[in-house]
């Protein structure tokens, strides 16, 4: 049986099938230079034309065995800003994934992603690689504090059991932590701690169609430095329908009810019921990949104080033009409207739009070059870290050298 994205919480892949591989050890070195046309560092009032230089040693491991798969990517490095050298930073990126088949019908999997950075552009700077989600995400989407140092860690685990030829159940848990070590760079945004769990029932109704139910519980704590705090709990029940029209092409639709309850230090607690909907689809061909999603739900955390009715859309297109040329385009939109009582700390909401265009060219087996253009637009009143820098553009060129060794061959 397949486990549709609406049930397993996984992201759609962003690579074309020709780029995917397994059983390798890869090491290398990445150097990139970028130009940013209007950087507003911290609470600065004057735009600065900035140039950055980044060096990232990288090591990756992927191994697939009959009953398990493990992958790991680690990139420690440095980013230098010119002329704003005070923004120079040490970067850390770590992503791991593990899957093990306990029996022919039971599987466990786990993922973890850690990031320490202040760069806020593009898929390479995202903890999930800029992938399109296939299920509801509890954190408020679209909030980006340009050039504010942040630490993020996201971990999840899942167990699934196919107890008949047509039926499957599963359970999952997740943790997400967001920290801004230097609050002067993230005025109006706050640290958050989110954890939760869920369960699903998945039934195959034909060779290519699935239906089922999902339940998700989320608990989020947002804690400003002045001892004000907010705890939000959400419970979401959804039914879903998924269809696989052909190999690597799927569409999922889900909808249901969602209840939230928010407890605030200085305000009365509040709660309500509301609808939640999600639609997503992915198509991965040998040289073409397309994924898109839309969601409407109640969210919290992500750096904001308050609970929001969030509408978000994500899309990612990647196309291998020739053997050594690949191009991509992606975009995201998020609109967040507050549904909690306002205080002097609360953001009333806002929206964000981001986009990216990339071109990749393999010069040789070991050397490749990437060109990238990114744009971010945000409109959030009352959040200086965002409102002081509502628009930003970046042009980047990246050079990479890498070596690859096969495993298990």
Which residues are CB-neighbours of 9 under 8 A, at least 6 positions away? 134, 135, 156, 158, 172, 174, 198
Using the predicted structure, report yes or no on whether residue 89 has a pLDDT greater than 90: no
What pLDDT, on the 0 to 100 scale, is given for residue 128? 56
What pLDDT, on the 0 to 100 scale, is given for residue 28? 94
Contacts 24+ apart (CB under 8 A), 391-395: 391/38, 392/36, 392/37, 392/38, 392/39, 392/121, 392/146, 393/36, 393/37, 393/38, 394/34, 394/35, 394/36, 394/37, 394/121, 394/122, 395/34, 395/35
**Across 161-165, 297-301, 362-366, least confident range:** 297-301
What is the percentage of the chain residues whose pLDDT exceeds 70? 92
Using the predicted structure, report yes or no on whether residue 229 has a pLDDT greater than 80: no
What pLDDT, on the 0 to 100 scale, is given for residue 121? 64
- For range 369-394, the mean pLDDT: 85
Element (H, E) at 7: helix 5-8
Q: The tokens of 193 are what?
A: 């701690």
Using the predicted structure, report yes or no on whether residue 143 has a pLDDT greater than 80: yes
**Across 126-130, 133-137, 349-353, least confident range:** 126-130
DSSP, collapsed to helix, strand or coil, labels residue 248 as: coil
What pLDDT, on the 0 to 100 scale, is given for residue 122? 57
What pLDDT, on the 0 to 100 scale, is given for residue 40? 63
DSSP string spanning 54-100? EEEEEEEEEEE-SSEEEEEEEEEEEEEEES-GGG-EEEEEEEEEEEE
2-44 confidence digits (pLDDT tens)? 888 888 888 888 888 888 888 999 999 999 999 988 776 544 5
Q: How many CA atoms lie within 13 A of 11 on its CB side?
A: 17
List 295's β-bridge partners, or say none: 278, 312
**Cα 253 from Cα 83, distance rounded (Å):** 49
- Backbone φ and ψ for 183, nearest 5 degrees, come out as -65, -20
Higher pLDDT, 292 or 262: 292
Confidence of residue 138 (pLDDT cuts 50, 70, 90): confident
- For range 209-217, the mean pLDDT: 95
Question: Residues 24, 29, 34, 39: what is their CA dihedral angle, to the nearest 10 degrees?
Answer: 90
Across the chain, what does the average pLDDT equal?
A: 87
Assess contact for 330 and 123: CB atoms under 8 A.
yes
Higher pLDDT, 391 or 255: 255
As a whole number of Å, the CA-based R_g of the chain is 21
Using the predicted structure, report yes or no on whether residue 327 has a pLDDT greater than 80: yes
What pLDDT, on the 0 to 100 scale, is given for residue 210? 96
Assess contact for 41 and 84: CB atoms under 8 A.
yes
What pLDDT, on the 0 to 100 scale, is given for residue 11? 86
What pLDDT, on the 0 to 100 scale, is given for residue 125? 55
Q: The tokens of 201 are what?
A: 């029932």
250-288 confidence digits (pLDDT tens)? 999 999 999 999 887 777 778 889 899 999 999 999 999
What pLDDT, on the 0 to 100 scale, is given for residue 42? 46
Confidence of residue 129 (pLDDT cuts 50, 70, 90): low
Higher pLDDT, 168 or 140: 168
- For range 64-84, the mean pLDDT: 91
Confidence of residue 168 (pLDDT cuts 50, 70, 90): very high
**Cα 369 from Cα 271, distance rounded (Å):** 51
C-alpha closest to that of 54 among 90, 84, 26: 90
- For range 209-234, the mean pLDDT: 85
| Domain around 75 | 5-406
Provide the 10 A C-beta neighbour count for residue 136. Answer: 28
Q: The tokens of 196 are what?
A: 């939760």
Looking up residue 88, the CATH number of its domain turns out to be 2.40.160
Using the predicted structure, report yes or no on whether residue 343 has a pLDDT greater than 70: no
Number of structural domains found in the chain: 1
Q: The tokens of 119 are what?
A: 């760069």
Using the predicted structure, report yes or no on whether residue 244 has a pLDDT greater than 80: yes
């Amino acid at each position: 049986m397949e486990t549709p994205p609406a049930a397993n919480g996984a992201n759609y892949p962003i690579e074309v099938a020709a780029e995917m591989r397994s059983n390798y050890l890869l090491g290398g070195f990445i150097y990139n230079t970028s130009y940013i046309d209007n950087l507003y560092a911290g609470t600065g009032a004057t735009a600065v034309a900035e140039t950055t230089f980044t060096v990232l040693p990288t090591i990756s491991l992927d191994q697939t065995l009959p009953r398990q798969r493990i992958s790991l990517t680690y990139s420690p490095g440095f980013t230098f800003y010119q002329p704003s050298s005070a923004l120079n930073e040490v970067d850390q990126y770590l992503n791991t994934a593990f899957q093990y088949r306990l029996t022919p019908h039971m599987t466990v999997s786990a993922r973890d992603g850690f990031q320490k950075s202040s760069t806020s552009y593009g898929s390479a700077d995202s903890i999930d690689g800029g992938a399109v989600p296939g299920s509801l995400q509890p954190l408020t989407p679209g909030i980006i504090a340009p050039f504010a140092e942040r630490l993020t860690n996201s971990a999840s685990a899942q167990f699934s059991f196919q107890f008949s030829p047509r039926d499957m159940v599963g359970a999952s848990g997740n943790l997400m932590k967001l920290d801004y070590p230097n609050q002067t760079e993230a005025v109006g945004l706050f640290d958050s701690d989110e954890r939760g769990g869920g369960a699903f029932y998945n039934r195959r109704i034909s060779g290519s169609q699935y239906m089922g139910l999902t339940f998700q519980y989320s608990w989020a704590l947002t804690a400003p430095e002045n001892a004000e705090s907010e705890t939000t709990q959400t419970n979401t029940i959804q039914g879903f329908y998924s269809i696989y029209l052909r190999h690597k092409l799927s569409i999922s639709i889900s909808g249901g009810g969602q209840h939230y309850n928010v407890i605030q230090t200085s305000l009365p607690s509040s709660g309500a019921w509301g609808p939640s909907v999600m639609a997503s689809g992915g198509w991965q061909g040998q040289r073409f990949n397309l994924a898109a999603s839309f969601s409407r739900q109640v969210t919290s955390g992500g750096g904001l104080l308050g609970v929001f009715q969030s509408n978000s859309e994500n899309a990612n297109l990647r196309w291998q033009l020739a053997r050594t040329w690949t191009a991509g385009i992606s975009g995201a939109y998020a609109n967040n409207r507050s549904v909690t009582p306002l205080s002097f700390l609360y953001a009333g909401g806002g929206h964000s739009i981001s986009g990216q265009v990339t071109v990749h060219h393999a010069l040789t087996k070991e050397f490749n070059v990437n060109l990238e253009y990114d744009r971010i637009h945000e409109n959030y009143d009352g959040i200086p870290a965002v409102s002081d820098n509502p628009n930003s553009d970046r042009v980047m060129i990246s050079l990479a050298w890498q070596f690859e060794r096969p495993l298990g061959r």
